[in-house]
Structure 1
Amino acid sequence: MDFGLGEGSERLRAETRAFLDEVLTDEILEECHRSGVNHHPRFSKAVSERGWLALGWPVEEGGQGRSPLEVLAHAEELQRRNAPTYGIGTTMMVSHVIALLGTEELKQRIIPRALAAEIVIALGFTEPENGSDAAAAATRAVRDGDGWTITGSKMFTTNAHIADYVFLLARTDPDVPKHRGLTTFLVPMDQPGVEIQEVRTLSGERTNITFYNDVRVGDDLRIGEVDGGWKVMGAALSREHANGFVGEQQRLLADLVAWAREAVGEDGRPRIGDPAVAERIGRSRADIEVSLLLQRRSVWLQSEGLDVRGKGSMAKLFSTERLERQAAAVLELVGADALRSRGEPSAVRGGGFEYAVRHAKGTTIYAGTSEIQRDIIAQHALSLPRPL
């Protein structure tokens, strides 16, 4: 059985590698690491100029009409090189939702600017008291003349401090079951009543908690029907849950192999010949292969119009939990030297191992915790009842 992505996908992969060799400089990577922000305007603009921000969109809508498998090959290379794509990803995800469910006026207002990398859109789903249960949103949106007044807070609104808009889920009817009283809005961030507070994660990435104090939003910035926000969220989250973390696994393995070739054991021989090291490398390669296949299966099912529910969650769950296990195993293998962080002259592999241990924990939370992913798999892939 052929698990390849096809000749077209491999041609685009080669183009993407050449593009990254030229554009993704050490300076850009260092700026992103120092700021903790997985977005860089110059890189995003370069991607836009290649027409790659919406690879899979129809040509008439500003895309290139690429197949899902071609888009996947491109994404795999971006992940592998740690390209700063989070801001691109959230902006284009929301733009896709607007293309599907937004008014013509909103489409003309937002999509051309998104395709030109002129705006950034952050996500405002999670709330401090509700964790991954987005449907439990308590942030209120109340009718106010020809618009809405929004009051509440959102947690993990990553990139809000550089965003032009936040794609916000708000409760518009508190008297109905939680999934039925929600509405989505595109809230401009540069206005009175919006407050942004920095939050640093375990791995040093910057996210934010945002507060909305009687923030005024016009009805023209509503996406979808009033109280129909969960349908809009479904269009958005179906794409977010399909994300895997294969790139992080690949980079960790590459650092392990490079260390094993350079490090010398007590017998004076390179550690690459140590059976324990060889076993760890083999296990990691096997994990990466499974992670890749799970991610590719999800995309292939989607491209064939088959039921993909739960499959993206399998890819996300497996890749993140294996990444966490791999990072812990590498730390045990390399020893105390692996705890030296980036910036220290004696840091092993530039501090990559130490960072991987911290970052891996966060990946099990991003885009829905492992527990949420298991619930999705149980309900949609195994047809088990919703937990009480």
Structure 2
Amino acid sequence: MHFQSAPETEAFRAGVREHLAEVMTPEFEERIYRSGVSHDDDFAKGLVDHGYFAPSWPAEFGGQDRNAWEDQALKEELMRTDAPVYLSETTRMVASIIRQVGTQTLRERILPGALAGDITVALGFTEPECGSDVAAAATRAVRQGDDWIINGSKMFTTNGHIADYVFLLARTSPDKPKHKGLTMFLVPTDTDGFEAQAVWTLSGERTNITFYSDVRVADEWRIGDVDAGWQVLGLSLQDEHASGWGPHIARLLHHAEAWATDTAATDGSPPITKTDVRRRITRVAMELEVSMLLQRRCVWMAENGLAPVAEGPMSKVFSTEALVRASQDMVELVGPDAMRSHYEPTAPERGRFEHLLRFSLGTTIYAGTSEVQRTIIAQRGLGLPR
């Protein structure tokens, strides 16, 4: 088993880097950051035009039949540059689920537009009172003839204010155990009774709390069987739990090395000449290597037909907590100047240290908290009792 990239993969990666270097201008990056919204229609359409939106999908659906390693190379480069792709990622995830378990009508209605960048889908899982216990969802969907009437609210529906649809988890049988009475729906956001209100995170990102007040959707918008929502949701959670955040560590390492090389200390020498500076930067580089290996193990498993059940959470929990450790360590190393705001002209590396520190804290929550990930590792990986 090895995780070295093939020449074809590296050639594909080089093309991705060239495209991102052209479109991710400093002006564009700053505009995206100040908006708090990790999406841009033109950027998404550019990915489609260059074959970088869903390269691993079959060509018949608009993909390129590329392998998992090339798909991973794309993800690494997008994450390393902090490209505005979150809504594109959730859209692609839901499109994949519709492709697997959606009706033929739903596939025809959603897949072409999603893969062309014309349709976007946000996620509606978490609720204000449920936290990480997604299965405790209280948002209700009540059958009324050929329609469903939905009432409730969802928290952290990121991009819900601009998406065309919300992939919504709702309770359809309150008398059944919580994991067995749930159903998934695709809710058009232009439906009467839908509302999105802004919630701003520590990192400056806009997410939303979304409200559903007598929202009426036809049964054709149901994904999967009634009361089988947990199984449908599991298709998306497996992908989310297998996420790796190593490229963000790589970005932090890049700025740390630049600061240590280009800044003059009080004695006139660059910080990189100091033993403690080299030791701390080396530690970040080590944790970056481990994070990338854990993620690439998941890719190797997927490429070989294996499901990364516990290995995915291992990648997610280690890489996010390593990012937190590294961000805190680099801020401490650089000193008080590291807390100058992102894009403050006098800040070291234009404030990347300050922003990555704020950003890192949220990553331990996204796609399932570290506690949830450890529970999966313990129960499904080690076979420990509940």
Q: Does 1:38 align with 2:38?
A: yes
Please list the CA deviations of residues 147-195 of structure 1 after superposition, one character each: whole Å capped at 9, or x if unmatched.
Answer: 1000000000000010100000000000111111000000011122111
Task: Give me the whole-angstrom Cα distance separating, in 1, the residues matched to 2:183 and 2:321.
Answer: 33
Displacement after TM superposition at 1:24 (Å): 2.3
Q: Which amino acid aligns with 2:349?
A: R
SS in structure 1 opposite 2:161? helix
SS in 2 for 1:161: coil
TM-score, with structure 1 as normaliser = 0.97
Partner of 2:380: 380
Q: CA deviation at 1:299?
A: 1.0
- Alignment partner, residue 239 of structure 1: 239
Q: 1:343 to 1:56 in 2, by over 3 A?
A: closer
**In the aligned structure 1, how far is the partner of 2:5 from the partner of 2:376?**
27
Partner deviation per Cα, 1:258-310 (whole Å, 9 max, x = no partner): 11112222322111111111001110110000000000001111111124101
Note if 1:359 corresponds to 2:378: no
Taking the aligned partners of 1:244 and 1:269, their CA distance within structure 2 comes to 36
Counterpart of 2:297 in structure 1 is 297
Contact 2:126/2:156, CA 8 A, preserved across alignment: yes
Deviations, residues 196-219 of structure 1 (Å, cap 9, x unaligned)? 110000110110000100100110
Determine the C-alpha separation between the residues in 2 that align with 1:81 and 1:344: 19
Q: Distance in 2 between matches of 1:306 and 1:143?
A: 38
**Residue 148 of structure 1 aligns with which residue?**
148
Identity %: 55
Residue 358 of structure 1 aligns to a residue whose secondary structure is helix
Shift of 1:113: 0.5
Q: Distance in 2 between matches of 1:183 and 1:352?
A: 41
Partner of 1:28: 28
Hey, what does 2:269 align to over in structure 1? Answer: 269
SS of 1:305 mapped into structure 2: coil
Aligned partner of 2:79 in structure 1 is: 79
Q: Distance in 2 between matches of 1:28 and 1:93?
A: 26
**Alpha-carbon distance in 1 for matches of 2:118, 2:231:** 27
- Match of 1:65, SS state, is coil
CA contact (8 A) 2:125 2:154 kept: yes
Q: Distance in 1 between matches of 2:192 and 2:175?
A: 29
**Is residue 123 of structure 2 the alignment partner of residue 97 of structure 1?**
no
What one-letter code is carried by the residue in structure 2 that aligns with 1:186? L
**Taking structure 2 as the reference length, what is the TM-score of the superposition?**
0.98
| Unaligned ranges ≥5, structure 2 | none
Q: Is the 8 A contact 1:24 1:43 kept in 2?
A: no
Partner residue, 1:215? 215
Contact 2:3 2:297 in 1 (8 A): no
| Aligned residue identity for 1:26 | P
Q: Describe the superposition over 1:20-64 as per-residue Cα deviations: whole angstroms up to 9, x where unpaired.
A: 112222232122101111111110000011222221111222211
State the Cα distance separating 1:224 from its structure 2 match: 0.3
How much has 1:9 moved relative to structure 2? 1.2
| 3-state secondary structure, aligned to 2:289 | helix
Displacement of 1:82? 1.1
Q: Given the superposition, is the C-alpha separation of residues 12 and 266 from structure 1 closer, same or farther in structure 2, using an over 3 Å criterion? A: same
CA RMSD of aligned residues (A): 1.1
Instruction: Number of aligned residue pairs: give it.
Output: 386
**Which residue pairs with 1:185 in the alignment?**
185
1:31-70 matches, cutoff 5 A: 31-70=31-70
Gap regions ≥5 residues in structure 1: none
The answer for the alignment partner of 2:171 in structure 1 is: 171
The CA distance in 2 between the partners of 1:18 and 1:345, in whole Å, is 27
Corresponding letter in the other structure for 1:333: L
User: What is the rounded CA distance, in whole Å, between the counterparts of 1:311 and 1:71 in structure 2?
Assistant: 18
Query: Structure 2: how far apart are the matches of 1:41 and 1:384?
Result: 45
Mapped contact 1:28–1:40 kept (Cα < 8 A): no
Partner in structure 2 of residue 110 of structure 1: 110
Match of 2:249 in 1: 249
